Every structure is written in structure tokens, then in C-alpha cells.
Structure 1
Amino acid sequence: MDKIKIENLEVFARHGVFPEENKLGQKFLVSAVLYTDTRRAGKTDALSASTDYGEVCRFIDMFMREHTFSLIERAAECLAEELLIHIPGLEKVRLEVKKPWAPIGLPLETVSVEILRQWHRAYIALGSNMGDRKAYLDQAVKALDSLPLFPAKGGENNGEEGDRSSCTGAVEQVSKYYETAPYGMTEQEDFLNACLSLRTLLTPEELLEELHRIEQEAGRERIIHWGPRTLDLDLIFYDDLILESDELCIPHVEMHKRRFVLEPLCEIAPYRRHPVYGKTVQEMLEECT
């Protein structure tokens, strides 16, 4: 991916642990690598086709001046998220926030925090076999399209809950709803299943927490394994990530065996390739019995 680099933009801001820093302020240096597609701008020579680095610099300066954080880690995190949300065409950003006069009582040149943040694409499987199944799936799609900027446990440095009005979720595609027979425990009502693709800034673990929150808001109770449920949300793919932990396995460990996942997923991403098996969704569907 192409890059536009901004090095050591000087801004005056009021970030720091000590009250004097918040009151008097000090100089900060911000560097950014903007990952974007410069091809169209390079072919047309039109500013409107480019990521305007002047606009980005003004955005950084305004954000750093208008907010106050105790930690430069927090300043960098929030600035990266706001840039990704508000700057058109920006897919990924590497940010470094330098603090030249860090008050530690020892001589140093700068202290800095450098982070890399980007948009991710996740694929979610949805299912319901209790009550108004379609309504549960519709509500889940709406909830996923308005995921919060910060995880449920997040908050500003005053301890309040994160800003849930700023969203990092954007549902891109939704399959049609499929009527399917129950899997595992077969003595229950038929399911309504679907899949969707989601563009998000959340990490896999944060996204999993949000999926559980949405399930709980729909009255989901985890009592019987493979039993009836108002809403079931499974994280199938997250970019090309391969992850195995106690809480989460990506890609979903059973997806290649489940026609009720593969069929709607094939509708929206037939050529998406499984990062472990190397097969496309369409190939896995053709082989699923």
C-alpha cells in the first residue's frame, strides 16, 4: 500500500499526568505514516483524488489542542482512531507522539509512543431459532452496524464509559436469511441463518465482547450446548488472522463443516480463502456434506 509521511509536526497541547502539564501545556511532536492509495492522484494530479496531508496536519493539531489526556498512549490511540474514521481513503496509520520535555527529573531528548492501527474486515455468522427469528437477526445487523468507538469497558480518563455514539462498525454486506435444520442437538426448532461482512477498528477480543453483549441484549442464555437460542453470533474470519486462545479461535474451528455457515458466507464472499486450509468458501461449500 502507498504511504504519505508526516514527520515531527509541532503542536502545543495539555497532555500529562501532572496538573501543571494540563494547565500550562507543552510542545509535542507528531509523526504519521498514512497508508492509502495514491494511484488516482498520481495519474490525475488532482488534490481531490489524494489524501490531503495539509488537512491531516490541521486535524492532528486541532485534536491534540482540543483534548486533554493523562497519557500519550491514550492521545495516540484516540488520534489514530479519529484519523481512520474521518480521513477519506485512509486504511491504516502509523502514529508516533513524542514528548520532548517529559518531567521525569532526568535529562532526556524525547519520550515517545508509536502505534499502528488500521481498518479490519470481519465475517460474522448469525443464527436464531426462538421467537421472532427475523427480528432478532435484523436487530443484530443494526447493532453490528453501530458498534462503539471504544470497548464496553473503555472510558475517558475521568472513569466514564466510552463514547458509544461514535461508531467503528460498518456492515458492508449481508446475505439473505436461510432456513436451516438444527445442528448438533436436532430436537429443536429450525434456525434462520445469515452471514455479514463488517469493517471495524476493534481487535478480535474486543469484537468478541461486543458480539456477546449483543447476544445478551437479545436474551441469549448459554444453558444447553447447541441448544435453542434467541441469537447466536460467531466470528468466522478476521482479515487473514490465525488465532488460537482460550477464548477465541479464528478462523472459526467448525466453519468448514457447517453448510448453514458456508452457504450464506458464499453468497457474500465466495472467493474468500481460508488462511489455514487454503480453500475458498465456494470450494469448502462444494465439499461440505
Structure 2
Amino acid sequence: MTAAFTGDRIILRDLGFYGYHGLFSEEERLGQRFFVDLECGVDLTAPGKTDAIGHTVSYADIYDVVKATFETKRTKLIEALGQNIVTALFERFGDINWIIIRIRKPEAPIAMVRGEAAIELRRARPA
């Protein structure tokens, strides 16, 4: 077994969503933009050799799980949102060995002129 967070990976960046996650009533009522960056550790040897879709995890299917999870349950913390997405991906795709997820909240309700608030979770598949 390869070490966590090394080796082959599927990468999806800047997945944009509009959602109602956050602590404040304004966030629940008005919503805001979120961006998700995702790296999924998957052995890509077979699809690299065969050029066959059946030997890899579909990027579109990963996106669908992220989107459904993002839209299903409102969370107060983006840490919880990230963990929900990680859990859903591990449940759906047995080939994913580890996940790095970053959730960015560019309009977080804090006084900043430029930038964004973000979290990053690194999770290996539970044994």
C-alpha cells in the first residue's frame, strides 16, 4: 500500500458552488459562493495502460457526489462540509485511497479587503 497523499491522483480545482453554509443568519438567508479544490489518490496505472474509462474513477461522477453533498445538508462550519464530502466520496468510490479537499469562502463575513477564508482536510481511507 502506498503512503497517504503520495502517488497518482485525480485533481479537480475551482469547483464553484452557491450555498447557504455558515454561522450567521445572513449566510443562511442570502448564501454565498464557495470554491472546492480536490485531490483524490487513485492508482492510475490501469487506465494509463488501457485507455479505458472502466479502469478509472470518472471526474464527472466525483463532481456529482461533491455537488450532491454540498447541496444536501447545510453546515455551520466549512470543516464539517469538507468532512461530509470526504465521507461521501469514500463511500461511493472504493478506488479512492486518500483525499485532500480545500474549501474556499471568498466572501466570508470578516473584514478583509482581499483574499478568502479556507480550510484544507487531508484524509486517508479508514482501515
User: Could you tell me the TM-score, scaled by structure 2's length?
Assistant: 0.89
Structure 1 residues not aligned, in runs of 5+:
121-198, 200-289
Query: Is residue 54 from structure 1 mapped to residue 60 from structure 2 by the alignment?
Result: yes
Question: Structure 2 CA distance, aligned partners of 1:68 and 1:99?
Answer: 15
Q: CA deviation at 1:10?
A: 0.4
- Match 1:19 to one of 19, 22, 25: 25
Report what 1:264 is aligned to.
Answer: none
Question: Structure 1 CA distance, aligned partners of 2:83 and 2:112?
Answer: 27
* 3-state DSSP of counterpart to 2:28: helix
Q: CA deviation at 1:67?
A: 1.4
Aligned length: 121
Structure whose CA Rg is larger: 1
Question: Structure 2 CA distance, aligned partners of 1:88 and 1:13?
Answer: 28
Question: Structure 2 CA distance, aligned partners of 1:105 and 1:111?
Answer: 11
AA at the equivalent of 1:30: V
Q: CA deviation at 1:83?
A: 1.0
Q: CA deviation at 1:108?
A: 3.1
| 1:157-213 CA distance string (max 9 Å, x none) | xxxxxxxxxxxxxxxxxxxxxxxxxxxxxxxxxxxxxxxxxx2xxxxxxxxxxxxxx
| Contact in 2 for aligned 1:81/1:117 (Cα 8 Å) | no
Report what 1:84 is aligned to.
Answer: 90
Question: Structure 2 CA distance, aligned partners of 1:88 and 1:73?
Answer: 23
| Contact in 2 for aligned 1:8/1:29 (Cα 8 Å) | yes
| 1:61-97 CA distance string (max 9 Å, x none) | 1211121000111111121121112123001000000
Report what 2:4 is aligned to.
Answer: none
Query: Is residue 110 from structure 1 mapped to residue 116 from structure 2 by the alignment?
Result: yes
Give aligned-pair identity as a percent: 26
Query: Is residue 39 from structure 1 mapped to residue 54 from structure 2 by the alignment?
Result: no
Question: Structure 1 CA distance, aligned partners of 2:99 and 2:85?
Answer: 10
Report what 1:154 is aligned to.
Answer: none
AA at the equivalent of 2:40: L
| Contact in 2 for aligned 1:84/1:118 (Cα 8 Å) | no
Report what 1:6 is aligned to.
Answer: 12
| Contact in 1 for aligned 2:69/2:84 (Cα 8 Å) | no
| 1:244-286 CA distance string (max 9 Å, x none) | xxxxxxxxxxxxxxxxxxxxxxxxxxxxxxxxxxxxxxxxxxx
Question: Structure 2 CA distance, aligned partners of 1:16 and 1:81?
Answer: 20
| Contact in 1 for aligned 2:57/2:95 (Cα 8 Å) | yes
Report what 1:119 is aligned to.
Answer: 125
Question: Structure 1 CA distance, aligned partners of 2:75 and 2:117?
Answer: 16
After the TM superposition, which segments of 4 or more aligned residues of structure 1 sit over 4 Å from their partners? Answer: none
Question: Structure 2 CA distance, aligned partners of 1:28 and 1:117?
Answer: 20
| 1:35-73 CA distance string (max 9 Å, x none) | 011111111111121111111112111211121000111
| Contact in 1 for aligned 2:65/2:88 (Cα 8 Å) | no
Question: Structure 2 CA distance, aligned partners of 1:24 and 1:112?
Answer: 19
Q: CA deviation at 1:23?
A: 2.2
